[in-house]
A and B are shown apart, each in its own frame.
Chain A
């Protein structure tokens, strides 16, 4: 086992990284004065992992939504299911599947070791039968239908389908009713065996727990495993979107829109500097103190639902602006004009410093939240970063970095607009 403590003096916080004999990396961030602890046991297996490595070195396609389906089914066992076991400890358990990972989690204020034991145990004990798989198709079918009615969700996935030709980020995380109908118990076992390998997983804990607590349970329940972290395939996307405009009609009171600028990337993942400088740029362009925000609000083109984000992960990167508007095309034109103008005028020192200070504050605020911290520890582990990288990176950024980044991204040739219109 290898131990390392990573400290941040300014925050007065630290976490421990343990490479366990079993091959699992364990990250623990104790928080003094907190009652609750949060643990997430995650696999590097998300909706973008649509192919499975075969023994002969080749790949086989798996149905869309399999990672999410597997997440649901792992809670079941031959005896008590995981929810029933957690009911005895008082912990609240859940799980999520995102584009790039699956996480199983619980939070509790008492019986931490007992709950951690349940978490490590049930995630390592798959139990799938054809009967239980069929039963789940009904529940997940309803989950898929539920999201199909949520305009915010649809506007995002339509945009991803418009922007990306081949990247699996364009498929729905839960798949479709048709794709999940193809899932079998056997298929779940082979996906489990490929991705649920301790070398392809991480355990992250934050809050009212100690390294000793965690290791006591881990030593008991984790057995050494061979294997490596699953490799992902990076597929180059053409610079232009699949389509520049996409729309759908749903039962909404007013049109919803999302404008995205696909970034033309030649490496799969963005650096800390790229992420932070893009975040600062987007805030300067469209944040609440920006001239654009004021103009759009006063022209009655947006309302308080307006927001933006830098959406990025393995093989995709895309600044996005979205919200509700009676005239999405007009908003898109205004945003494009503002970006074009800023590319000529450049960012000035004052806006840069103000926005950086805002970002610094928002990062510090994150360190209150035990749940968020554990998830962030897991996420940064899979991308090969450290938890404190962003805060340190924020201090190091210069105005030149920002303006250089502005030259690289937000190219109109990669833009697409997704619109949801009222039925």
Chain B
């Protein structure tokens, strides 16, 4: 346990990170591909979804899903996310370990081959473009996926706060592109995006399971051999502080209001005092021992949830809470009071200890889940040296109280976003 993964460079900007272990019942393999959050964002965003739905060998998605069922219900997933001002595309395949195959076949081998087919050998038409019908389907699904963010008001309010706060930065853009850009997508634009991704994306392939990584490393090298790699340089702009906090209120017919406070950490880059900021954010609004939980929820009964999250790749912290719409002011004051308390060092050694214990506990448990382990390493796609969860624990444990207050004192409020109710929602039973 806690062993370093085997890391191997496959091509410029492409590396394989394999954690070999037999303690899991499954094997898991994922492709993470990072691009600058610019250019044809919509075409990039549709890529993981169009790639995971078919390939030249299995052009029909029903047939592909039949193959996955035959592989003992292997699960295939795709996603798009933001990591700082990078657009990160991912495709992941999980299957049961070979030792549970009923006829002694190699499931892991078949799964690895299938994943390579999906990424490198898509189902193209006679003009070597993505098929119009597939593009049409994925356009609709992507637009619906994007618009469905409205359904979860917690997610929606956070997205709106990011859009308002970072309106003049790339980070304010949707990871899916605009509605208009998705609507006008063509097979040709998707093809360009696919070729561009293979040439320029920073790519990490992560594996966790009992399978040996040599075969997959060889197969990957073969796939990348004909590709002229020119990996993109991805940079994120860090805004140190804002002069005057913005205050935005929007209304929707909801029963509970959602308050989001956006802060700038004042950091210069993702690694600037990273551990101190992690501990500080946790003391402020992490677990049930945090300032926000203990005071805003437990003491003041203002909400069911109130928590803070650090996005160190952009140098921002967001505090989220679900409250009565008319409680926006007292809740904002209560949250800011708690931040002031952390800035003033009004917390005990015991509070730091609780945070560190909880954080290192989570870190150790990463090793117990193949999905978590893969996500842990995939999130380090831009780091030259991969950190084990154990190494991260050591860094967390080394943080001092002074470092925590120093970090807190660099934090400034940027945006107060409030999603309020209109009092119009109703139930009609027919």
A138-B302, A361-B95 known; 20 new pairs, CB 8 Å cut-off, are A32-B23, A87-B357, A88-B354, A139-B297, A140-B304, A149-B255, A150-B153, A243-B430, A247-B428, A288-B65, A288-B68, A289-B62, A289-B63, A289-B66, A289-B69, A357-B73, A358-B72, A358-B73, A365-B73, A368-B369
Quick one: closest B residue to A90, CB to CB? B357
The interface residues of chain A lying within 8 Å CB-to-CB of B357 are: 87-90, 110
Contacts of B369 in A (CB 8 A): 368-369
| Chain A residues in 8 Å Cβ range of B361 | 36, 90-92, 107-110
- A98 to B426 Cα, complex, angstroms: 26
A-B contact pairs, 5 of them (CB 8 A): A92-B361, A148-B256, A251-B425, A357-B72, A360-B73
Residue A58 is within 8 A (CB to CB) of chain B in the complex: no
In the assembled complex, B92 has its CB within 8 A of some CB on chain A: no
CB of A364 closer than 8 Å to a CB of B: yes
Give a binary string over B167-190; 1 marks a CB under 8 Å from any A CB, 0 the rest: 000000000000000000000000
Assess whether B151 is in contact with A253, with CB atoms less than 8 Å apart: yes
What residues of B have a CB within 8 angstroms of the CB of A294 in the complex? Answer: 61-62
Interface string of A78-96 (1 = CB under 8 A from B): 0000011011111111000
Closest chain A residue to B427, Cβ basis: A248
* Cβ-defined partner of B324 (8 Å) among A34, A142, A253: A142
The smallest C-beta distance from B358 to any residue of chain A, in angstroms, reads 6
Instruction: Return chain B residues, CB-CB under 8 Å to A83.
Output: 288-289, 293
Interface size, chain B (Cβ < 8 Å): 74
Look across to chain B and name the residue whose beta carbon is closest to the beta carbon of A134. B301
Interface segment, A43-51, A225-233, A300-308? A300-308
Q: Determine which of A136, A304, A364 lies in contact with B72 in the assembled complex, contact meaning CB atoms within 8 Å.
A: A364
**Contacts A92-B361, A145-B256, A370-B368: A287 and B65 contacting too (C-beta < 8 A)?**
yes
Contact mask for chain B residues 129-152; partner A; CB cutoff 8 A; 1 contact, 0 none: 000000001001100110110111
* Residue ID in chain A nearest B361 by CB atoms: A90
The answer to whether the Cβ of B346 comes within 8 Å of any Cβ in the partner chain is: no
A interface secondary structure, majority: mixed
Residues of B within 8 A of A90 (CB): 354, 357-358, 360-361
Q: Does B268 lie at the interface of the complex (its beta carbon under 8 Å from any beta carbon of A)?
A: no
Please give the distance in Å from A81's CB to the nearest CB on chain B: 8
Q: Are B147 and A253 in contact (CB-based, < 8 A)?
A: yes
Tell me, yes or no, whether A384 is within 8 Å of chain B by CB.
Answer: no
Q: Which residues from 14 to 56 on chain A have a C-beta closer than 8 Å to any C-beta of chain B?
A: 31-36
Q: A35-B365, A149-B254 are in contact. Are A248 and B428 (CB under 8 A)?
A: yes
Contact B289 A87 (CB under 8 A): yes
User: Which 7 pairs from chain A and chain B are nearest by CB?
Assistant: A361-B72, A90-B357, A33-B23, A358-B73, A138-B301, A361-B73, A289-B65
- Given A83-B288, A108-B361, decide whether A361 and B96 contact each other with a Cβ distance below 8 A: yes
Per-residue contact bits, chain B 350-368, to A (CB 8 Å; 1 contact, 0 not): 1001100110111011011
A294 to B137 Cα, complex, angstroms: 11
Instruction: Determine how close the nearest CB of chain A comes to the CB of B129; give it in whole angstroms.
Output: 20
A140–B324 Cα gap in the complex (Å)? Answer: 12
Instruction: Assess whether A254 is in contact with B100, with CB atoms less than 8 Å apart.
Output: no
Chain B 1-26: CB-based contact to A (< 8 A → 1; otherwise 0): 10000000000000000000101111
- Complex Cα–Cα for A83 and B25 (A): 33
CA–CA, A89 to B147, complex, Å?
42
Find out whether the CB atom of A250 lies under 8 angstroms from the CB atom of B425: yes
Is B96 a contact partner of A364 (Cβ separation < 8 A)?
A: yes
> Which residue from chain A places its CB closest to the CB of B365 in the assembled complex?
A36
Cβ contact within 8 Å between B364 and A109: yes
Q: Which residues of B contact A288 (CB under 8 A)?
A: 61-62, 65, 68
Whether A423 sits at the interface, judged by CB under 8 Å, is: yes
Residue A207 interfacial (CB < 8 Å): yes
Contact yes or no, B23 A251, CB < 8 A = no
**Complex alpha-carbon distance, A136 and B304, angstroms:** 10
**Which residues on B sit within 8 Å (CB–CB) of A84?**
289
| Chain B residues within an 8 Å CB radius of A142 | 256, 302-304, 322-324
Separation in Å of the B264 CB from the closest CB of chain A? Answer: 28
Cβ-defined partner of A368 (8 Å) among B26, B287, B323, B360: B26
Q: Is B252 an interface residue (CB 8 A)?
A: yes
